[in-house]
Structure 1
Amino acid sequence: MTSREHSSWRSSLWKELPNVTHVWPQQDKQNDSRFRNLQQVSVKSCRKLKALFPVAIATNLKMLEQLEVHFCDELREIVEKDSGGGGETKKFVFLYLTRLRLYNLPQLAHFYDGMFTFECPELNILYPFNCNKFDLFQTPQGNSPPITRPPLFSNIKDISKVKTLSMKSKDTWVLKSWLQQSEDLELEYLRGLMLTFDDDCLLTSSAAGSLKHLEELYVYDCKSLKDIVQKEQDDETATEEIIFEQLKRISLQHLRSLECFYQGNAALKLPSLAQTALFLNNYPELEGKWVGSSEIPVEWSLSLQVRKCKHVEAIFDVKDTSAKHDDPVTFRLRTIVLKELPSMRHVWNNDPKASPFSFPFLEGVGVQECKRIKNLFPASVPRDYLRHLDVRKCGELEEIVAKDEAFPQDANNKEIDMLFPQLTFMVLWALPELRCICSGMQNLLDQSVVLTRLYVFSCPKLKAFAADIA
């Protein structure tokens, strides 16, 4: 292939080439401009590849806009040092690079094995994931010897335009340190943040203010994390608010030590969370109730998913909250999914008084493998708009709705027996102790006039169906 043909390339994709050790031709010359017009490079599942670019090519990729490298098990560096490079500082300038994705590269240790500078002023997606040996940021050296191989960035200003950022533990620690030292510094373009972290807190309350434009927060596999936002000494008498003005999505998964979102006294506000979902997955140390004080802010979520939290006993703390709220706490939740919560006894605590919580938009509830729960709804929780109910493998569940003195009644004190006026879909699956939908109400099909799909399997004590279906 001629040099002119090479220079016409705009995009290069290399995928599932298990024996490839080099993508580009190996030459000793210091300057190779044959691929100068490349705009997109994607390399996936080239298991034996050890380096991506020769340095002579990398220094001439002036038009590069996107670089993605996935599942290359033996890749150790992005740019390979040439044999005659000596000790000079190489300059890598990517004026148009907007997207850098490095995914599942377990051996990737550095960008270039030598001194270099890296410029990408338009970068807006920086996404290294499962690249545990690769450092994004410059760690403060203190009295350590001078570095001979710098990380990708040495200053927070180098990522000032990044909109989506993924970081591992060490890089998260550096970023947190930068934010704490620069009170007037904001990552004003940052919209999405994904973190794997091994510390007891993610951000101090003051540093959180630097992320006020953040729209999505993903925190994953952080073994020691106890708080997302850590209170500071000033928080004890704080009158100011901690506001994530634009935060629309929170996903917290596999956080083994998480205790709460924020423990301080400053008001925590997430006014935009109404447009999104909150995922809570695998919190073995989280205890007690999640909603009722300020531990987990779900009031503004559209969807709540809670999974694998072995100590949680209730999700919504009706009992302890009723005395604290003169007006109902309105949740915008549309769906609730609860799975593998072995200690959970209640979704809503039973309370004979009116519930302080209002769920005017709730349409779907799914509960699975919550073996200690006895009933799903207390009578005080409205179910007027519920359309979808799916309950499976809850070994001690006896009834769906707990009947108590708060059960709704009409003007003549006659109990209103329409439990689910809008329910169209119901699954009751492998519930060995389920006796009824609600005590004293035997006619299931009268509980919803619009029920169109009903699935019942392995509920041997449930007798309400025989008369209905006959």
Structure 2
Amino acid sequence: MSEAIGIENKEKVDFHSSNHLKLFSSNLLRLVQSLEELEVSDCGSLEVVFDVKIMDDREMQGRKTSQLKRLALSRLPNLKHIWNRDLPEILSFKNLQVTKITQCQSLKHLFSVSLCQDLQQLQDLVIMSCGIEEIVAVEGEGLEELKFYFPRLTIFRLHFLMRFKRFYPGRHYLECPSLKTLDVFGCEGLEIFSFTHLDSRQTLMVGEDDMPIQQALFSLEKVSSNLKDLALNEKDSIEILNGHYEANLFHSLEVLGLQCFQETPVMLLNRFLEKFPNIKTLGVRYSSFKVFFPSNEAGYCGFRSPNQIKKLGLQKMEQLEQIWNDDSLTDVLEELIVLDCPSLTSLGPPSIAFTSLTSLQVMYCKRLTFLMTGSTAKTLVHLKQLWIRNCGMMEVVVMINEGTPEEIKFESLEYLEMTFLPSLKSFCSGKHTFVFPSLEMLKVRGCPRMQNFSSGVIIAPTITMEVENETRHCAEDFNTTIKQLAMEQNQESL
């Protein structure tokens, strides 16, 4: 099998779609001497990547070192083992830096205890949508107390591991002194943090001596000092809020993700963000808030938007109706992403201003009928990129009430995309003049009701315009180009 794919002396191999049960079997040691990157995907029958069991006595003489630095395995539904035999006296993977495993539902364990001792260079560990129960499997009999030390691990990401309960079944220390990103989501059986003032061994569910122990992944105080990117669920957030920790516990944190908030009282959340004085990016997903900034009404999130937050992302917020109901807390925001918020009807009040915003993305918000008012549009002097996708009820992007036509200038806008908006009629509802001095690309697709860009005057340089599958170069007269391409598209569909 190994010779068939011709990898000898190659540094990188991407292997896709095969019916083999084992990927590397014969001449394993010789083949991995030069291999630095391995990617395997969409092999429905694959059960073992490195078949160490069949190595003969000659191959097992002396310990060899693999040059493998990056291992990526994805969509391997029957994969049971990466290595099907322990390797300490045969093969070292001490050069491994990146391990990414996704959609391997039959894989229960990732590493052996002895292999972990080799992983001193490991920097990224990402596991998503797998059947993993423990990252490190038990060796031999009994569950001795162990220490796992990953001095260079900076990114630790675990998503949708429904069976995952613990890092290792026995008592252990887990130390990652360089950890910068900790993102755990959809791992309901895992206790992420120990909130004692000692170490993570304090949070244990102990059975018999040889039975698995439920232990928290990390001690909060030991892992928090260097973190720059952290995702928190509702339970851990309340523990942090109520704990008596040092004021600068999260002084290095710049990116904070909040997820699955369903019952947290308003006042607790107002106090919670005070624990993170230096965050610049805030993301919230799968939570039940109705309005974000700010409110004193029961049932609302009630955050007071910290003036240092430059990027805000909202995703899968089923009940979110409005992001702001105050127009004075958006001065420093540079990037806003709103994804899959089906109840959203407006970003904020008609007078809301985004004077620092450079990027705006709004997708899958089916109740939005317009994105902004003319008053808000005038404040977007720094906006460079605007994406609007899959908003089924949106009729116009800029809503303008009847009155004297004015000029609205998007001074910095370079890219504008409006795609899969079945109700969209035009960019603007009024006859205002729109000026786009920096626009380079306009993309319109899946907008069958759109017959023109605007009823007013359009001033712009020569740009690239992509309408449906046609690309044209046009200057100023967007309306003519859109109408022409729309007519051509309708004729083709007859």
TM-score higher than 0.5? yes
- The residue aligned with 1:150 is 215
C-alpha displacement of 1:422: 1.7
- The residue aligned with 1:368 is 419
Q: Greater relative contact order (Cα 8 A, min sep 6): structure 1 or 2? A: 1
* 1:400 counterpart letter in structure 2: F
C-alpha displacement of 1:65: 3.3
Identity percentage of aligned residues: 21
SS at the partner of 2:487? Answer: coil
C-alpha displacement of 1:212: 3.7
CA separation in 2, counterparts of 1:119 and 1:71? Answer: 22
Aligned-CA RMSD value: 4.6
Mapped contact 2:294–2:305 kept (Cα < 8 A): no
* Cα-to-partner distance string for 1:145-190 (whole Å, 9 max, x where unaligned): 96331120232442321223345xxx35303541464582452222
* 1:457 counterpart letter in structure 2: L
Mapped contact 1:47–1:71 kept (Cα < 8 A): no
Mapped contact 2:126–2:158 kept (Cα < 8 A): yes
C-alpha displacement of 1:286: 1.0
Tell me if 1:178 matches 2:240: yes
Tell me if 1:81 matches 2:131: no
Tell me if 1:188 matches 2:188: no
Mapped contact 2:68–2:93 kept (Cα < 8 A): no
SS at the partner of 1:134? Answer: coil
- The residue aligned with 1:391 is 444
* Cα-to-partner distance string for 1:90-120 (whole Å, 9 max, x where unaligned): 3323334333244554432211123333222
TM-score by length of 2: 0.65
For 1:224, which of 281, 284, 288 is the aligned residue?
288
Tell me if 1:23 matches 2:83: yes
- The residue aligned with 1:422 is 461
Tell me if 1:343 matches 2:401: no
- The residue aligned with 1:98 is 154
Tell me if 1:65 matches 2:122: yes
Unaligned 5+ segments in structure 1 are 323-327, 404-417, 431-444, 463-470
Tell me if 1:125 matches 2:181: yes
- The residue aligned with 2:434 is 382
CA separation in 2, counterparts of 1:211 and 1:109? Answer: 28
- The residue aligned with 1:260 is 322
Mapped contact 2:63–2:92 kept (Cα < 8 A): no
For 2:382, which of 314, 327, 332 is the aligned residue?
332
CA separation in 1, counterparts of 2:392 and 2:230? Answer: 35
* Cα-to-partner distance string for 1:346-394 (whole Å, 9 max, x where unaligned): 3222232466975322234332343444432233353242443333444
* 1:426 counterpart letter in structure 2: M
For 1:207, which of 272, 283, 299 is the aligned residue?
272
For 1:134, which of 180, 186, 190 is the aligned residue?
190
C-alpha displacement of 1:256: 1.9
Would the alpha carbon gap of residues 49 and 227 (structure 1) be closer, same or farther in structure 2, given more than 3 Å must change? same
CA separation in 1, counterparts of 2:442 and 2:186? Answer: 37
CA separation in 1, counterparts of 2:169 and 2:154? Answer: 23
CA separation in 2, counterparts of 1:447 and 1:400? Answer: 11
Mapped contact 2:318–2:341 kept (Cα < 8 A): yes
* 2:182 counterpart letter in structure 1: L
CA separation in 2, counterparts of 1:427 and 1:11? Answer: 41
SS at the partner of 1:252? Answer: strand
CA separation in 2, counterparts of 1:400 and 1:114? Answer: 64
Unaligned 5+ segments in structure 2 are 1-58, 197-202, 207-213
Residues paired across the two proteins, number: 404
Would the alpha carbon gap of residues 159 and 35 (structure 1) be closer, same or farther in structure 2, given more than 3 Å must change? farther
SS at the partner of 2:435? Answer: coil
C-alpha displacement of 1:285: 0.7
